[in-house]
Amino acid sequence: MAIFPLPLADLLGHWGSYVVYAAIGVAFGMTLESAGFGNSKLLAAQFYFKDMRVFKVMFTAIIVAMTLIFLTSALGLLDYNLVWVPPTYLWPGIVGGLIMGVGFIIGGFCPGTSLVGLATGKIDAFMFVFGVLFGIYMFGETVSSFATFFDSSNMGRFTLPELFNASYGVVVLSIVVVALLLFVVAEKVEGMINGRPQPGLPVWTKPAAGALVALAAVVLVIGQPSSEDRWQVVAAESQARLDERAVQISSAEFIKYRDDSKIKIIPLDVREERYYNQFHLRGAVHVPLDRVQEKARELQFEPANTVFVTISNDEAAATEAWKILKAESVPNAYILDGGINGWLKSYAGDSVAEGDKVYNREEDQLAYKFNAATGSRHPAAEPAPDFLNLKYEPKIILELKRAPTSGGCG
Amino acid sequence: MSQVSNAKPYMNPYLAGTLLGIVLFLAFFITGSGLGASGGLNRLLVYVQNEVNPEHIDQVAYLLKMAGGNSNPLDSWIVFLTIGTVFGGLISGLIGRRMKFETNKGPQISNGSRWIMAFIGGALMGYGARLARGCTSGQALSGGAVLSVGSWAFMFAVFAGAYALAYFFRKAWN
């Protein structure tokens, strides 16, 4: 598994990790202030095309950070799956963005820049920060009246390469090139609006721009690690755990955690749809094997106390699904020992007749015939054995979650 | 407070942007999270609300997430990032001799008008930032760098909103 991002709370402890965040904050504040972002008049000049500093600083930062993020990911140093990608709530985001744009031109700051304005004694920044606090307060008081809109158009972790169906390298290189072209345009526009030739750019800008394009091209050439590449990294350790049967949990352990309110158990049924329709466990989510990788990104959003259990008729497909989850860095993934067939054998009792048994079946096929799509209405879908008498070898050990569950605005 | 005439000029925007990009990259590389600002202010506000009127927190689902029961709204990395940001601004302002009590505005409006506008603009920003689940730092900058579709849509919306109304507020700034 890629070493970065670091499990900070593990390494430094809960409060120790906060020192790192504070240090990052100091660097953030220093760069914002040096860029002139403590000065509202300079920020607002962006919208009169007089000084397009906001655009230049922001887009330079985005293309530099983006290129480095996807370069380190391509090199296997950074695990992109463990990086916080703000989930897309399209329409609340757009409406909120428009409101913020209006706030920007009236107030002259955005929340981050107002903090460095405040730190350097700008009185308008003080007033702005009070305004922000008031706006946040008003939001908390009113959000319940439009909760449906606030939670609408949720597309989860959704990235531009997924939208355009292009590789990450293509998107990264395109954004770098477009941003650099827009910088040239911005320089020209500033010259026209201010009616005088702009001072020339520092000599280092052209080689720096060339270097960034070259790095973005490297990202394109190397490509992002595929699920197979990612599996190779964890294969040795994970295959050993599979062979020791350390991750195949018994149905009894599954039932115990299903009834435990401190643990959220998500059964992932990876079988074909017909099997799922015939019989599945109560609460099982149907994710066919070819969709597990796509689903894995979404599963990162689940809270830290979530345990994922892959389920197939026997264990073959469930094991494949488990490998994908492992490769995609999904924490706390397990396999249901014996699969659905084992489950039915333990809990179906008289509800499946002897005559329904399928003999000479192939691996990972259902061992019983179902004449109707009973789904989770079947009595064995949610058996309630006396949990005090459940005997099993405990295997679930909750791992600390490395992926952040909220971004900088949570 | 030193005179503004001694103040060092601001950094070249492309250099500042490169440094900001490296800071943003390191934030993602080391912690997995990007940068942010409104989240820290949000939690500060919820902390104060919880001290003043804890019953109210327990009635609003949105606030309950941060301060319900025994959870301390200030026990979050984003709060420490925000405190660091203020200190970073202070350090850089001192080094650049740009510390000065002043109100930045266009020459055609009074300080009082500017302060009222700053408050109204801030309120809109705060409201919009919660609705959009992030501000310019957390959504546009951080989400933009990791290629979130919503963050890019958000970014265009912010610029669109500001450019659309810039004409009507030209007297405040020019």
Indicate the residue of B32, B100, B166 with minimum beta-carbon distance to A82: B32
- Expressed in angstroms, the distance from the first to the final Cα of chain A is 27
Instruction: Name which of A304, A8, A328, A78 is nearest B31 in CA terms.
Output: A8
Task: Specify the pLDDT at position B1.
Answer: 42
Sign of CA dihedral B97, B100, B106, B108: negative
A332: left (phi over 0), alpha (psi -120 to 50) or beta: left
Instruction: Name which of A43, A146, A28, A91 is nearest B121 in CA terms.
Output: A43
Q: What is the pLDDT of residues A350-387, one digit of tens each?
A: 777 767 788 778 888 888 888 788 888 888 888 876 65
Residue A4, phi then psi, degrees to nearest 5: -105, 150
The answer to whether B125 touches A132, Cβ cutoff 8 Å, is: yes
* Residue B80, both tokens: 């420490």
Residue A98: list chain B partners with CB under 8 A: 128, 157-158, 160-161
A267 - beta bridge partners?
A: A309
Quote the strand ranges of A208-330, DSSP E: 248-249, 264-269, 285-286, 306-311
B102 - beta bridge partners?
A: A122
What residue type is assigned to position A14 of the chain?
H
Contact B134 A407 (CB under 8 A): yes
Longest dimension (CA), chain B: 52
What residue type is assigned to position B90 of the chain?
L
The answer to whether A56 touches B15, Cβ cutoff 8 Å, is: no
Task: Report residue A10's pLDDT band, with 50, 70 and 90 as the boundaries.
Answer: confident
Q: What is the pLDDT of residues A63-91, one digit of tens each?
A: 999 999 999 999 999 999 889 999 999 99
Average pLDDT for A248-266: 88
The answer to whether B54 touches B68, Cβ cutoff 8 Å, is: no
| Lowest-confidence segment of A148-162, A240-254, A340-354 by average pLDDT | A340-354
Residues 119-148 of B with CB under 8 A from A: 119-148
Residue B45: list chain A partners with CB under 8 A: 133, 136-137
* Residue A157, both tokens: 């972790």
Task: Specify the pLDDT at position B3.
Answer: 45
For B145, the closest chain A residue by CA position comes to: A66
Residues 203-222 of A with CB under 8 A from B: 205, 208
Average pLDDT for A46-62: 94
Q: How far is A322 from chain B (nearest CA, A)?
A: 24
Distance from C-alpha of A331 to C-alpha of B106, rounded to nearest angstrom:
54
Task: Specify the pLDDT at position A339.
Answer: 93
Q: Which of A27-31, A154-158, A328-332, B38-42 has the highest mean pLDDT?
A: A27-31
> Exposed, middle or buried: residue B91 (CB in 10 Å: 0-12, 13-18, 19+)?
middle
Q: Which of A252-261, A263-272, A375-384 has the highest mean pLDDT?
A: A263-272
Indicate the residue of B32, B80, B133 with minimum beta-carbon distance to A409: B133
Q: CA-CA distances (angstroms) from residue B80 to A228, B33, B39, B41? A: 38, 13, 11, 11
Task: Specify the pLDDT at position A407.
Answer: 60
Distance from C-alpha of A216 to C-alpha of A64, rounded to nearest angstrom:
9
Chain B interface, best mutation among A1, A20, A30, by max B CB count within 10 A? A30
Task: Specify the pLDDT at position A96.
Answer: 96
Name the percent of chain A lying above pLDDT 90: 60
Residue A410 scores a pLDDT above 50: no
Q: What is the pLDDT of residues A184-220, one digit of tens each?
A: 999 999 988 888 766 778 899 999 999 999 999 999 9
Q: How far is B5 from chain A (nearest CA, A)?
A: 15
- pLDDT < 70 regions, chain B: 1-5, 68-69
Number of CB atoms found within 10 A of residue A40's CB: 28
Indicate the residue of B80, B172, B173 with minimum beta-carbon distance to A25: B80
Indicate the residue of B20, B89, B161 with minimum beta-carbon distance to A38: B89
Indicate the residue of A21, A104, A140 with minimum beta-carbon distance to B84: A21
> Exposed, middle or buried: residue A372 (CB in 10 Å: 0-12, 13-18, 19+)?
exposed
Chain A interface, best mutation among B4, B11, B23, by max A CB count within 10 A? B23
Residue A29: list chain B partners with CB under 8 A: 84-92
Per the model's pLDDT, the better-predicted residue between B5 and A263 turns out to be: A263
A364: left (phi over 0), alpha (psi -120 to 50) or beta: left
Distance from C-alpha of B24 to C-alpha of A342, rounded to nearest angstrom:
50
> Exposed, middle or buried: residue B1 (CB in 10 Å: 0-12, 13-18, 19+)?
exposed
Residue A301 scores a pLDDT above 90: no
Contact A116 B92 (CB under 8 A): yes
Contacts 24+ apart (CB under 8 A), A158-161: A158/A87, A158/A88, A158/B148, A158/B149, A158/B150, A159/A85, A159/B146, A159/B147, A159/B148, A159/B149, A160/B147, A160/B148, A160/B149, A160/B152, A161/B147
Task: Give the DSSP letter string of A93-124.
Answer: HHHHHHHHHHHHHHHS--HHHHHHHHHTTBHH
Indicate the residue of A24, A69, A123 with minimum beta-carbon distance to B23: A24
The answer to whether A67 touches A172, Cβ cutoff 8 Å, is: yes
Instruction: Name which of A269, A274, A355, A281 is nearest A312 in CA terms.
Output: A269
> Exposed, middle or buried: residue A384 (CB in 10 Å: 0-12, 13-18, 19+)?
exposed
Residue B44: list chain A partners with CB under 8 A: 133
Task: Report residue A7's pLDDT band, with 50, 70 and 90 as the boundaries.
Answer: confident
Task: Specify the pLDDT at position B57.
Answer: 78
Q: How far is B67 from chain A (nearest CA, A)?
A: 13
Per the model's pLDDT, the better-predicted residue between A309 and B55 turns out to be: A309
Q: What is the pLDDT of residues A13-52, one digit of tens each?
A: 888 889 999 999 999 999 999 999 999 999 999 999 999 9
Rg of chain B (C-alpha set): 19
Average pLDDT taken over every residue of chain A: 89
Residue B80: list chain A partners with CB under 8 A: 18-19, 21-22, 25
* Residue A81, both tokens: 């799956």
Indicate the residue of B32, B120, B164 with minimum beta-carbon distance to A84: B32
Q: How far is A254 from chain B (nearest CA, A)?
A: 29
Q: How far is A335 from chain B (nearest CA, A)?
A: 28
Contact A409 B162 (CB under 8 A): no
Angle, CA of B61, A85 and A132, to the nearest 5°: 50
Task: Report residue A1's pLDDT band, with 50, 70 and 90 as the boundaries.
Answer: low
